[in-house]
Amino acid sequence: MGTRAGGRRTGPKCIAIVGPFASGKTTLLEAILARTGAIPRQSPVSSGNTVSDHSPEARAHAMSVEATFATTDFMGEQITFVDCPGSIEFAFEAEPVLAACDLAVVVAEADEKKIPALQLIMRKLDDLAIPRILFLNKVDKAVAGVRETLKMLQPASTVPLLLRQIPVRKDGIVIGSIDLALERAYIYREYAESQVAEIPNDDKARELEARFSMLETLADHDDHLMEQLLEEIEPPKDAIFDDLSADLRAGAVTPVLIGTAEKGNGVLRLLKAIRHDAPDVEATRKRLGAPDGQTVVQVMKTIHTAHGGKLSVSRVLSGQLADAAELFLSNGDTAKVSGIYRMLGKDQSKLTSAKAGDTVALGKLDNVKTGQTLSSAKGGIRPLVTLEPPQPVFAFALRPKERKDEVKMSAAIQRLAEEDPSLSLRHNQDSAETVLSGHGEMHLRVVRERLEGKNQIPIEGHTPAVPYRETIRKSAQQRGRHKKQSGGHGQFGDVVIEIKPLPRGSGFQFSDTITGGVVPKTYIQSVETGIRDYLKTGPLGFPVVDVAVNLSDGSYHAVDSSDMAFQMAAKLAMKEGMAACSPVLLEPIMKVEIVTPSDATSKIIALIPQRRGQILGYDARPDWPGWDVVEATMPQAEIGDLIIELRSATAGVASYKATFDHMAELTGRLADEAMNANGKAA
């Protein structure tokens, strides 16, 4: 264990690396691991050899698709870094991770198009009360000045972005940085520690101005510092560092450090800021409300390895954990640890124990899920984290190409859903389809690739069937008679029914006005059963709704009538009568709520009518500056790939929620297409 300024001892830390897609998170982790000696050299992402993004799917698509854990040592302290995906489609990967982390490093760049994505990440950190440092990456490529860049990025953050470094330029090229707290310059050396230098004369005025601005922000939370500034007294450096650390931990500011991860520049200063200023596991335990005096473990991710079985990557929030230890879940179930491992990407090294603060993989906790809390207390403790995946926005129906693989596919999907709790799987009884839902086209493409690659199960997929229904426009009366004689007892059932349309949403209503016992009461139920059975597939090929049927007359035979005979008679009457009732197709109409950056609202409004949608209105998103909410109704048939178009129009950040609103008549070409696709013509 190491010490920090003020003598406070700290334990192992867990740091999340988050940020918009392609901001350089994986590159930063690679640079950190190389600088701390965890790996011999820093590899570019394009090499396919990075510690993070090690899965075939991540490398095939050149993007992070899952959280990756890597533990290293820096100046006598152990730090686990977690590289979290930047795409909104894989954003849920970060939720169980962030909850148990001490701090987040937000990787950003001077790109105005990525501000909405940055805002989504910052808001999530706000929700979870996670302190953060912003690492302004790719400063060697930035055109604007760093302070202008911060003004551009500030709307993404609800707390002040506090500049701690400014760049040193030579001939317009960034060659180093000036630390405003230390008042010291650092000249970059590629893939090596920066060289300490005096602040260049040309930069002294800029440094003094930027430093005073930093101190003014800190003084908002320190009256003594404010007095010193007003009296033009130079505050002690130790006091400045204490304020920086305290304000970071309190979430009052977001310190901003600069660098270029691709060249390893600025990495050492970032590591030192993490070491000195990041909260430790004690603060994280208090934030989560975990009890003290016992072993408490929070599960951050589930991994199914090819040869080692199931691993539950977990943070030890308190206590000690030994191999073969018995832990308890909140429902009273027990879980026995079978192996403790330190993680470095896909590689693990075995440990004999873990202590408070450690982030480790625990082997073979078969009944344990991502997000659950384990404890040494018998009966367990209340869960510290509640995972609520957002509503899926994309789906496909899938089946194995070979029927013999159905059981294998089901087991594989179950494992994938354990690794990714945001996946949703359901069986559609109407269409007999297995439907997999997720958070975008790429999200489900990766799932399919894992089924076919990692699990060797060839898959067929298609757009899920729309739950069309049919109803009637007219009334009709129809007799149905089922009569069959084949020696011995025959079959006889005779009914007269009246079929009428009902208001939309009424469902099915059955009644009888039988008098004189022409249809015995014992068979009336059979008539209803036959009608309900018919309604499963009407004349257009879909379930029938909003219909009333009244049994008004009929006849029976004392010997040959039976339950089955009256069911058959009812079906015959319905089949002939429905054709005379002007059947019409109904399609589900959904109410859709789209959240979008305001600068893309006009694009969203324009695309809604193209999908047969009707705009209900739009307004500013409450407490989200720069965002709007657009409300509309839209046929479910048009929503299948809606998210692809929404994301394309908004640099990948828009999303939506859809709820059923009503059923509406569908006629003409679209109705014909729906019926033909269902194997039925009008």
Tell me the two tokens of residue 454.
């990692």
pLDDT-based confidence at residue 682 (cuts at 50, 70, 90): very low
Within the chain, all domains assigned CATH 2.40.30.10 are found at: 290-375
Query: b or e along 247-262 (b: 16 or more beta carbons within 10 Å of the residue's beta carbon)?
Result: bbbeebbbbbbbbbbb
pLDDT digits (tens, 9 = 90+) for 157-169: 999 999 999 999 9
Predicted confidence at residue 681, as pLDDT, reads 41
Domain formed by 470-581, architecture: 2-Layer Sandwich (3.30)
Predicted confidence at residue 680, as pLDDT, reads 52
Tell me the two tokens of residue 568.
């058959």
Give the residue, 284 or 7, on which the prediction is more confident: 284
Q: Assess whether pLDDT exceeds 50 at residue 261.
A: yes
pLDDT digits (tens, 9 = 90+) for 388-441: 999 999 999 999 999 999 999 999 999 999 999 999 999 888 888 999 999 999
CATH 3.40.50.1100 fits 394-462, yes or no: no
Topology of domain 290-375, per CATH? Elongation Factor Tu (Ef-tu); domain 3 (2.40.30)
Predicted confidence at residue 345, as pLDDT, reads 96
- 521: number of Cβ within 10 Å: 9
Query: b or e along 397-410 (b: 16 or more beta carbons within 10 Å of the residue's beta carbon)?
Result: bbbbeeeebeeebe
Q: Which of 665, 674, 482, 661 is nearest to 571 (CA)?
A: 482
Q: Assess whether pLDDT exceeds 90 at residue 663.
A: yes
| Arithmetic mean of pLDDT, 204-209 | 95
Q: Assess whether pLDDT exceeds 80 at residue 23.
A: yes
Predicted confidence at residue 487, as pLDDT, reads 63
| Arithmetic mean of pLDDT, 332-342 | 95
Give the residue, 485 or 637, on which the prediction is more confident: 637
Supply angle C-alpha 355, 360, 363, rounded to 5: 115
Q: Which CATH class is domain 586-677?
A: alpha beta
Is residue 590 within 8 Å of residue 639, measured between CB atoms?
Answer: yes
Q: Assess whether pLDDT exceeds 60 at residue 460.
A: yes
* Percent of the chain predicted with pLDDT > 90: 91
Q: Tell me the pTM.
A: 0.92
Tell me the two tokens of residue 164.
């701690």
Token pair 């089946």 is at which residue?
399
Strands 459-462 and 394-400: antiparallel
Predicted confidence at residue 488, as pLDDT, reads 65
pLDDT digits (tens, 9 = 90+) for 360-390: 999 999 999 999 999 999 989 999 999 999 9
Q: Assess whether pLDDT exceeds 60 at residue 539.
A: yes
Give the residue, 316 or 305, on which the prediction is more confident: 316
Q: Which of 97, 61, 55, 66 is nearest to 423 (CA)?
A: 66
pLDDT digits (tens, 9 = 90+) for 467-516: 999 999 999 999 999 998 766 678 999 999 999 999 999 999 999 999 99
d(C-alpha 335, C-alpha 154), whole Å: 45
Give the residue, 70 or 144, on which the prediction is more confident: 70
d(C-alpha 283, C-alpha 286), whole Å: 5
* Percent of the chain predicted with pLDDT > 70: 98
pLDDT-based confidence at residue 1 (cuts at 50, 70, 90): very low
Query: Mind giving me the DSSP string for 512-542?
Result: E---TTSS-HHHHHHHHHHHHHHTTS-TTSS
Domain formed by 2-279, architecture: 3-Layer(aba) Sandwich (3.40)
Predicted confidence at residue 494, as pLDDT, reads 96
Predicted confidence at residue 629, as pLDDT, reads 98
Q: Assess whether pLDDT exceeds 90 at residue 88.
A: yes
pLDDT digits (tens, 9 = 90+) for 444-456: 999 999 999 988 9
Q: Assess whether pLDDT exceeds 70 at residue 6.
A: no
Q: What is the mean pLDDT of the chain?
A: 94
| Arithmetic mean of pLDDT, 613-619 | 97
| Arithmetic mean of pLDDT, 309-316 | 96
Q: Which of 648, 560, 548 is nearest to 603 (CA)?
A: 648
d(C-alpha 550, C-alpha 527), whole Å: 10
Within the chain, all domains assigned CATH 3.30.70.240 are found at: 586-677
